[in-house]
Amino acid sequence: MSKPLDTLWYTHSPEPTGLGVAVESGRLAEAFRPFGTNIQALRESSDREVREAHFDHHLPNSVRHGGNIPAIWAYSTRESTRVLGLSWIDEVQLLVTTTESGVKTIRDLRNRRFGVPKWANVQIDFGRAQALRGLENALSLEGLRVSDVELVDYPYGSAHVDEPLHQTYGGHVRLRGTRVRRRNNELIGLLRGDIDAIFIKGAHGVQLAEEFGLQVIVDTGSHPDPRIRSNLGAPRTLTVDQHMLDHHPIAVERILQTVLRAEQWAWAHPDETRQFLARTLNTSEYWVAAAYGEDAHRRLQTNLDERSISALQDLTDFLHRWEFIPRHFNVLDWIDPKPLENLLQKTGVEI
């Protein structure tokens, strides 16, 4: 029997997700109001350990929708979580250079210097992982390997969890200080001519490329093969902890229902959705469209299709091969399809 849920902890990455739309629009709070459940944002907490749960998912009665690499890492360390759904919105994933470098094609990267971030004091360095994933996928298109390129590390001293705390403005959670863009050490190295190429992605990546006149070598985010496009943001994972799944199944069902309804609302409201996404990404609607397409609202869709599952497995294999995660696993063992299947059967809706 499902027990009342006192507090629901939620977190979503600053990326397009159904949970993000549900939070921004107030739908998540509205869905749990009749139950008297307290809705809390993990990253709004003043407790560092609670904020850390955004990355390691250790907090009971929590839901997370966003970048998959921290979620994969958490499960690999035997954190008891389950995937309820996967969402896929393609975004630009760029390998960029400068006009002075002489690099014009992927093959020109052979024996060149490629800058990658290296974070200290983090449990999972997802920034480094996504850069290497983008590089490896791009090089594979021309039969090259990462060993054909010289990697140059650019260190970052603070942990992700030490980012400024969130504050709430008009009901919307905001990261204090995010109006100031974080220093990008690899970009500085590229502009100085110390390295020949870097990886950037998403709305801020497109903006950086235009602002600094960077030359795009390849956009792996637009490649027809889903495995080449799969990275931190593709597919994004919707996960809950096993405790909530076992003891609060009604709450889990309500979370899923709220996410799916928020996505359906987004399909019919493109302008408002772009506004939500711009706020979530802390950028303008122009850059949202440039990074995710004019039809991004139509691609907000959480399901468990075979393409997403296969791509998630391919990414998991990559993370283990590069020793970003301690344990290899079959993602089918991580996924619990029953909550989504039961919800769709109950509502008679096909998502």
CA distance 339 to 85: 9
pLDDT at 157: 79
> Is the domain 93-229 a CATH 3.20.20.70 member?
no
Percent of the chain with pLDDT over 90: 76
Q: Between the CA of residue 89 and those of 85, 260, 278, 298, what are the distances in Å?
A: 14, 15, 15, 9
Residue 55: per-residue pLDDT:
82
Burial of 174 (0-12, 13-18, 19+ CB in 10 A): middle
Average pLDDT over residues 128-138: 98
Superfamily of structural domain 7-89+233-347: Periplasmic binding protein-like II (3.40.190.10)
Query: What type of residue sits at position 141?
Result: L
Confidence of residue 310 (pLDDT cuts 50, 70, 90): very high
Neighbours of 322 (CB within 10 A): 14
pLDDT at 40 > cutoff 50: yes
Least confident of 68-77, 166-175, 235-244, 332-341: 166-175
In sequence order, which residues have a C-beta less than 8 Å from that of residue 335 and are 6 or more positions away?
82, 83, 304, 309
Percentage of the chain modeled with pLDDT above 70: 91
What is the residue-averaged pLDDT of the chain? Answer: 89
Mean local confidence (pLDDT), 305-331: 97
Cα–Cα distance measured from residue 182 to residue 191, given in angstroms and rounded to the nearest whole number: 16
* pLDDT of residue 264 exceeding 80: yes
- As a whole number of angstroms, the distance between CA 17 and CA 84 comes to 14
Structure token digits, residue 67: 């970048």
Top pLDDT among 2 and 166 is at: 2
| Selected residue with higher pLDDT from 26 and 52 | 26
User: Distance between CA atoms of 297 and 213, rounded to whole angstroms?
Assistant: 29
Q: Residues 201-250: pLDDT tens digits?
A: 999 999 999 999 999 999 999 999 999 999 999 999 999 999 999 999 99
Inform me whether the pLDDT recorded for 23 exceeds 50.
Answer: yes
pLDDT score recorded for residue 189:
97
Q: What stretch(es) of the chain map to CATH 3.40.190.10? A: 7-89+233-347, 93-229
3-class secondary structure, 212: coil
Q: Is the pLDDT of residue 117 over 90?
A: yes
Quick one: pLDDT at residue 4?
79
pLDDT at 142: 97
Would the pLDDT of 173 be above 50?
no
Q: How far is CA 312 from CA 55, 308, 342, in A?
A: 17, 6, 23
Q: What is the pLDDT of residue 1?
A: 41
